[in-house]
Amino acid sequence: MSLTLLTYNILTGANHGRLDAVCAVVDAAGPDVAAVQELRGDPPLARRTGMRLHVAPPHTGQPVGLLVAPHLRVLRRGTVPGPFHHGAAWVEVATEAGPLTLVSVHLFPYWGLVRLYEARRLAAFAARRERVVLMGDFNSLDPWTPYGEVRRRHRRWFGRGGPDTRAMALLAGRGLVDVFHRVGTGPGWTVPTALGGAEFTRSRLDYVLASPAVAGDFTACRVLDGAATASASDHFPVVATLATPDPEGRSAP
């Protein structure tokens, strides 16, 4: 069994006539599970894609959610204990290798200390599950990517000592693996796009993170940075392929 996973910040509920473009991007990627940020509780997205939607309400921001393909059996679902500015949704699906928990997240965009708090809550949630994948807009730079081109005027990502990588460093320190860093191809930048993101310099803010029990089963990861995605949102989506092993340990096709 092979799963295609997608994470996508669709920008304020794909408003201003962008729903068709966003749905086309999702349909073209063909995900089994899609983590979506800035949903605004958008039910048309589920109807248009033919997927089931689980939404986590925000504390003060915008909802996040998970779109799940009809063929997958959902065992459980819920929200990660927070509070999270944008919320954090999770579903547990059945796979040949056992239950797999998938989380959609959107960390706080402004203050690094708030992101660090939210990262701690995510790490605590992930620590209670063997097979877990976190996907979303982490609004964070990571410690292992060179960011010489990121201008220091972006104060949300820079402290006095340089890039604020604390949230991603904490998650990595708790054992979560950056799937793109491990098996990704291409440059990896997820912002900005042609549509928007003037507040961004070319950066990677959107990630797929996996627990050690799952990380080794990912076979591919890339940013969908074509013309269609450049005009659909201010973030490019990230897609990853997970080959789940059967009980005898063989990776399924």
Six token digits for residue 38:
């800035």
Residue 233 lies in a domain: yes
State the residue range of the domain holding 101: 2-243
pLDDT of residue 225: 96
Residue 253 lies in a domain: no
DSSP string, 218-234: EEEEEE--SHHHHTT-S
- Is pTM beyond 0.85? Reply is yes
Taking CA atoms, 149 is separated from 107, 138, 165, 198, 253, in Å, by 23, 19, 15, 15, 40
d(CA 79, CA 64): 10
d(CA 6, CA 147): 24
Residue 168 lies in a domain: yes
Residue 80 lies in a domain: yes
pLDDT of residue 196: 81
Query: CA nearest 31: which of 237, 176, 246?
Result: 237
Q: Which parts of the chain register pLDDT below 50?
A: 152-153
Residue 72 lies in a domain: yes
pLDDT of residue 18: 95
Identify the CATH number of the domain in which residue 237 sits: 3.60.10.10
pLDDT of residue 153: 46
The number of folded domains in the chain is: 1
Residue 163 CA to chain centroid, in angstroms?
A: 21
d(CA 107, CA 2): 28
Residue 249 lies in a domain: no
Query: CA nearest 223: which of 233, 211, 213?
Result: 233
